[in-house]
Amino acid sequence: MARWRGRLLIASACLASIALTACGSPGSSRHDGEGPRTSPVDGRPRTDPTVTSLSALLVSPREPAIPFDGTDGRVTVTYELELANVTPFTLSPVSAEVLDLSGQVVQRMDRSTVIADLALPSRRGGVDRLAEGQVATLYVTVQFEDRARVPRRLGNRVTVSGLPNGGTYTSDVAVVPVSDLRVPVVGPPLEPGSRYIAADSCCDSSRHRRALLPIANGQWLAQRFAVDWEQLDDRNRTVTGTDPAKPADYAVYGKKVLAATDGTVVHVLNGLADQTPGKLPAGLSPAEADGNSVIMDIGGGLYALYAHLQRDSVTVEVGQHVRRGEQLGLVGNSGNSSAPHLHFHVMDGPSPMTSEGVPYVIDSFATTGRITTQEDFDTLENTTTPLPTTPLPGDGPHERVMPLNLDLVTFG
């Protein structure tokens, strides 16, 4: 993320080292006999001249990881690794391992898990091979019982097959710094109500978590921790009327969108019509993707996005200072949307295209179960059929945690 990239660059001096020990800062050229020599030019390690083996797979972290507390009572650390096949062969994933500071494995991903979490621009998962020169993104999520168990850095190594004579290769350890950022604490982004669905929240839904965008000569993941807030009625339906093609027949449509925290409005779009639910619209420009929307500067270099609002419902203007709980607009179905909802996320810049998503926690809410499976939600979201739900072990009041994917949330 923009303000923490410097930390990542400092940590990059460690990436070629298998040990997870501390490194010197970029620009220093040191050699103590135990670690790699670092260049005075770019701070990257220069390995021992006796090391002559070629790398088959390059593993690089995209961003520092920022831990957050979730409704499951655990601390989640989620991040991305770039895997580059630098051989003339087709490589297939075998496994991936996450290591702690001592080099002990804290999580092992088998072949099926790596394939499920390996993505290309055209596929957000299910990649089972990398062709010559191909680069893919591996999405990694690790959970810990409490903050005290989260290491300051996490090592990652990936094993692939496909080398001549049936050979395999295990990469050097790539180090992901774990940020000490205290994530922002916000309030509810919607008026009081029950059975709000935290749809496509972190971390097992691909729509937001894997929405990596190539823009301005970089790749950006502003939606990393986004939530699409929908709602069930008292019969567990998202569509409360008779026509799933009418936005007004959805339970969440027209609900008041509230400022989740104090801030200053830096962007407003207010003139787009609602889309017809049931499918994503065609022909939208990137500028129209968020539909009618509000972006607020919430301080500390962070910004909050409220998207897909009703046409002409936005009640604030650029430059206005807004207090937490003030109304910003009404839930609609404008922009790149297939069902009425409020898209909300926090990012480290004012642009939803060229920013990195940052986790946040909501200070107070309750859960009353969750939608049973992602498949159930995807199949029944735009129908009048009740969605199956299941209780959660931690149901009840929550404080300062993030709602996880498909949680049923009560605000107010």
Give the tens place of pLDDT for each residue, 112-125.
999 999 999 999 99
- Write the single-letter amino acid at 269: L
Do 225 and 129 belong to one domain? no
CATH code of 288's domain: 2.70.70.10
> Of 40-54, 185-199, 272-286, 387-401, which gets the smallest average pLDDT?
40-54
Q: How many separate domains does the chain show?
A: 2
Structural domain for 384, as ranges:
185-411
Do 200 and 94 belong to one domain? no
Strand 357-358, strand 263-269: pairing: unpaired
Do 119 and 166 belong to one domain? yes
Averaged pLDDT for residues 179-186:
94
- At which of 135, 150, 177 does a domain end? 177
Nearest CA to 181 out of 263, 289, 300 is that of 300
Per this entry, what is the length of the chain? Answer: 412
Nearest CA to 227 out of 29, 409, 23 is that of 409
Instruction: Report pLDDT for 52.
Output: 63
Instruction: Report pLDDT for 36.
Output: 60
Q: Does residue 6 carry a pLDDT above 50?
A: no
CATH code of 87's domain: 2.60.40
Give the tens place of pLDDT for each residue, 52-77.
678 999 999 999 999 999 999 999 99
Q: Does residue 347 carry a pLDDT above 90?
A: yes
- At which of 177, 206, 233 does a domain end? 177
Give the tens place of pLDDT for each residue, 280-327.
999 999 999 999 999 999 999 999 999 999 999 999 999 999 999 999
* pLDDT band per the 50, 70, 90 thresholds, residue 48: confident
Do 233 and 354 belong to one domain? yes
Which tokens is 51 given? 């090391």
Q: Does residue 5 carry a pLDDT above 90?
A: no
Q: Does residue 25 carry a pLDDT above 70?
A: no
Do 46 and 64 belong to one domain? yes
Q: Does residue 171 carry a pLDDT above 70?
A: yes
Do 262 and 355 belong to one domain? yes
Do 143 and 30 belong to one domain? yes
